[in-house]
Amino acid sequence: MWAKLALKLFFREFRRGELTVICAAIALAVLTVLTLSMVTDRIGQSIAQKSSAFIAADRVLASSHALPQSYLEKAHSQNLKTAQLTYFDTMLFANDEMQLSSVKAVSPEYPLKGELKIKARLDAQVEIVNQGPSAGNVWFSESVFYALNVKVGDTVELGAAQFTIEKVLVEEPDAPFNIFSSSRRVLLNSADIEKTQVVQPGSRVFYRQLYAGEESDINAFYAWLKPQIKENQQWYGVKDRQSPIANSLNRAESFLLLAGLLGIILAAVAIAVSAKRYCERQYDPVAMMKTLGGSRDMIRKIYLLHLSMVCALSVLIGLLIGFGLQDIAANYLAKSMNNTLPAAGIKPWITAISTGVICAVMFSIKPLLDLFDIPPLRVLRRNLGDRLLVSKVHLAMSAMTVFLLMWLFSNNLKITAILFVSTLVLIGLLFLVSRIIFGGGRKLGLRPGNSWSLAIASIQKRANANSVQLISFALAIKLLLFLVVLKNDMIADWQSQLPNDAPNAFLVNITESELPVITDYLAQKKIQVSEFYPTIRGRVNAVNGELVAREVSLQDNEKKDEEARSGIGRELNLTWLTQSPAQNEIIDGEWFSESATGEASIEESMLARLDVKLGDTLTFLIGAQSFDAKITSVRKVNWATLKPNFFIILSPDVLADFPATYISSVRIETDQKRDFSELLRTYPTVNAIDVDSFVKQIQSTISQVSLAIGFVLAIVVLCGALVLISQVQASLGERMQEIVILRTLGAKGRLIKNATLYEFLLLGSAAGFVAALVSDVALFIVQREMFDLAGKLHPHIWIIGPLVGGTFVAVLGYFMIARTMRKNTQGLLRSLG
């Protein structure tokens, strides 16, 4: 009996649209979580896999001492691929020429990720291979050919052995991005290291072990490896390195996580508003059923069945649409990225279903319990039960639910707490602002028969309800503005670091005598070149007269002087400039004056590493000569730009008597490569470091991340629109009653329509203005704390917020009311009945 009645009521309410918004809200929450989770998971895997080419593996174990073979054996037993690298510098001899070069000896498995690009000869086409040179052969970078005056097929001496030059090395996936490292690159088979007799006790050698495989297998291996890692060993992945790609990936992950959390907040607000409104609409039917003898138990069963059916239907719809959306999005993104996206795991499905069930139950349970307590006398006294409209318990349960959903989605308690608390503070501020706005409206002089007067009177009449609406509108607009502006700032920051005309090569080791000639040649060939920086190698030897600890060799059983001050155990690249570089920001102190003598400007991380402060004196050692310089400024350096950067910059007088070489970044277009090669042939001592492929990979990754962020933003905008729709839908019944009364009193349709439009316009504009202000303050904080961006205010959104908010809410609200306005008074009365 009750089941038949329950189904009849269910389909009746569904046709009326009361359950439609709840169903749509729950479904949107489910599809939002599923789509965001699956798309971000698949994109994250794809970008991470592609970005792994920057280190030629998924993970790397690095050390300045030989690494145990037992690590590789254990990795093989856990289904991981491995490779080994050995780096050292040595002299090459050929044709009575010699050249210091950087050698990388690789095992046959190298590279595990990415590609090697080679040429059969200097003027041949580029080929792609997946394995290094065979034993007895070497590959040279182009600059080595010019320096030694050799060609492919010639013989070269490397240490105690002779090798055949087999290929021209064009590109390595994990070539070090360091403009001060040698561009004289040599690729050698690791089996040939021993016969070169170059690596001896005390030699400066660096070792790498590469690992690749499933993330679960890598994590299991690292769990075994971690207790055994020594202080001189380092385990890292692509996102652990300080590089533009690592920063881009980390920022993108933070944005996608933030967007997902805000999307859940918006969907949850829509569900909470819709569920509460539905239960309020059922007060009269419940009172009627109780009057006709319906028991509390029967009513409970009816509405719990409604909740179960809505939940099941919504979750199913959300999963189907969400899977379809993510599949469409993934296919589109895969084509844009020119890469097949990996399949997502089971976690997004579990998270999405859990979100739908939790939303349906937690946001509905308190309004349903209130619904069961409606007295039968409400059929005679319509105000009975209105005390249940505002429930602190419901608000507390809703807040707790939102927190749990955010935590479930992010799996990060810190980020969840920050966003949740900031949202609560925002709601509190908005409520106070709404009371001031609506209270102030009572003092305005109103004229009867005026649309504006009618709109303001309507706002005043529903002050409490409008406060809730204002908060919901402002919250939705704030989150949308927040994400849109943050997205634009992030992408603008990335593009400013790597614009389309970014340098794609560096010239290093230019002598002072060569500088004028090379400068003229570059100008003649119209090759874009940045400023030339003088450089010299030096060491920080003391701070305020106190010697710093030098680097020791554990291999030679040297011991560190525990009493010495901590310092930098290697030489630094020093420069001297009259003006601060454009990519540097002075954050403390002042830059050198024209009469500066013996001054130094230090980068902020080096300041902390040396444990020094403004006014301290650093003693530098260059060769056998030492000199002092006083720290007068601290700089924040943007290391992501493809320009030379320095930890320490000295005033020009300090290094005036030291011989230096110069470096600069250049932009080589395709039609200028022949001219650039001619420059290198003419000046074989000048090193050229080609970073063109590096720049292209970075720009490609940023483009992919930007595309993913745009898609996520579209989903969140949909959530925001649903919040606005649910708020307008919640007040639809009351507005219909007002329209009936106004028409009965003789009000014209044009007056009512304009008043409705103006009311929504005022609410939307007020919400947009408050949202813009709060959003800008929140952006300022989040940009600095979460995204390492320079926090700044955005005055333009203070105008855009009210305009967009007022227009969007007014248009949306007006068209939702328009259907009601087209009905005659008799039709409206039937709808209310």
pLDDT in tens, 230-282: 878 889 887 665 455 555 556 666 666 666 666 667 667 767 777 777 777 77
Give the highest mean pLDDT range of 12-21, 102-111, 351-360, 759-768: 102-111
Check if the beta carbon of residue 27 is closer than 8 Å to that of residue 318. yes
Better pLDDT: 657 or 149? 149
Q: Which residues constitute the domain of residue 181?
A: 56-236
Residues 71, 165 share a domain: yes
**Predicted confidence (pLDDT) per residue in 327-336, tens digit:** 887 777 677 6
Residues 739, 707 share a domain: yes
Lowest mean pLDDT among 286-290, 314-318, 821-825: 821-825
Residue 674 counted as domain residue:
no
Q: Which of 236, 265, 299 is the last residue of a domain?
A: 236
Residues 340, 201 share a domain: no
pLDDT mean over 568-581: 81
**Predicted confidence (pLDDT) per residue in 679-703, tens digit:** 877 887 777 776 666 666 666 666 6
Lowest mean pLDDT among 71-75, 564-568, 642-646, 712-716: 564-568
Rounded-to-integer distance, Cα 344 and Cα 701, Å: 20
pLDDT mean over 551-562: 41
Residues 455, 536 share a domain: no
Residue 518 counted as domain residue:
no
Better pLDDT: 603 or 363? 603
Strands (E), 561-659: 572-576, 584-589, 599-603, 617-622, 625-637, 648-650
Residues 75, 148 share a domain: yes
Residues 580, 623 share a domain: yes
Q: Is a pLDDT exceeding 60 seen at residue 182?
A: no
Residues 647, 609 share a domain: yes
Better pLDDT: 176 or 417? 417
pLDDT mean over 512-519: 89
Q: Is a pLDDT exceeding 80 seen at residue 547?
A: yes
Residues 646, 718 share a domain: no
Q: Which of 236, 257, 281 is the last residue of a domain?
A: 236
Q: Is a pLDDT exceeding 90 seen at residue 208?
A: yes
pTM, full prediction: 0.60
Looking at residue 642, its pLDDT comes to 66
Cα 627 to chain centroid distance, Å, stands at: 44
Burial bucket for residue 657 (CB in 10 Å: 0-12, 13-18, 19+):
exposed
Question: In 3D, which of 409, 413, 357 has the Cα closest to residue 716?
Answer: 409
Rounded-to-integer distance, Cα 602 and Cα 575, Å: 11
Average pLDDT across the chain, whole number: 76
Lowest mean pLDDT among 355-359, 371-375, 717-721: 717-721
Cα 393 to chain centroid distance, Å, stands at: 37
- Cβ neighbours of 14 (radius 10 Å): 17
pLDDT mean over 469-475: 69
Give the highest mean pLDDT range of 296-305, 453-462, 683-692: 296-305
Helix or strand run (H / E) with residue 99: strand 97-106
Give the highest mean pLDDT range of 380-384, 537-541, 717-721: 537-541
The band of 820, judged by pLDDT with boundaries at 50, 70 and 90, is low
Rounded-to-integer distance, Cα 799 and Cα 807, Å: 12
Q: Is a pLDDT exceeding 70 seen at residue 818?
A: no
Q: Which of 667, 684, 708 is the last residue of a domain?
A: 667
Rounded-to-integer distance, Cα 434 and Cα 528, Å: 57
How are the residues of the chain apportioned to helix, strand and coil, as percentages rounded to the nearest 5? 55, 20, 25
Cα 145 to chain centroid distance, Å, stands at: 42
Residue 606 counted as domain residue:
yes
Amino acid at 640: A
**Predicted confidence (pLDDT) per residue in 725-755, tens digit:** 666 666 666 666 676 666 666 666 677 777 7
Rounded-to-integer distance, Cα 10 and Cα 415, Å: 40
> How many domains is the chain partitioned into structurally?
3
Residue 391 counted as domain residue:
yes
pLDDT mean over 389-401: 68
Residue 653 counted as domain residue:
yes
Find the Cα–Cα–Cα–Cα dihedral 173, 216, 707, 256, rounded to 10°. Answer: -130
Residues 60, 208 share a domain: yes
Residues 289, 181 share a domain: no
pLDDT mean over 816-826: 62
Looking at residue 47, its pLDDT comes to 65
Rounded-to-integer distance, Cα 318 and Cα 817, Å: 27
Check if the beta carbon of residue 421 is closer than 8 Å to that of residue 402. no
Residues 290, 254 share a domain: yes
Rounded-to-integer distance, Cα 400 and Cα 403, Å: 5
Rounded-to-integer distance, Cα 757 and Cα 409, Å: 38
Residues 8, 83 share a domain: no
Looking at residue 336, its pLDDT comes to 66
Q: Is a pLDDT exceeding 50 seen at residue 564?
A: no
pLDDT mean over 373-393: 61
Looking at residue 80, its pLDDT comes to 93
Residue 457 counted as domain residue:
yes
Query: Percent of the chain at pLDDT above 70?
Result: 67
Give the highest mean pLDDT range of 35-39, 163-167, 459-463, 715-719: 163-167
Residue 693 counted as domain residue:
no
* Cis preceding-peptide flag for 111 (omega within 30 of 0): yes
Check if the beta carbon of residue 483 is closer than 8 Å to that of residue 662. no
Looking at residue 388, its pLDDT comes to 47
Looking at residue 557, its pLDDT comes to 40
Rounded-to-integer distance, Cα 784 and Cα 656, Å: 39
Residue 17 counted as domain residue:
yes
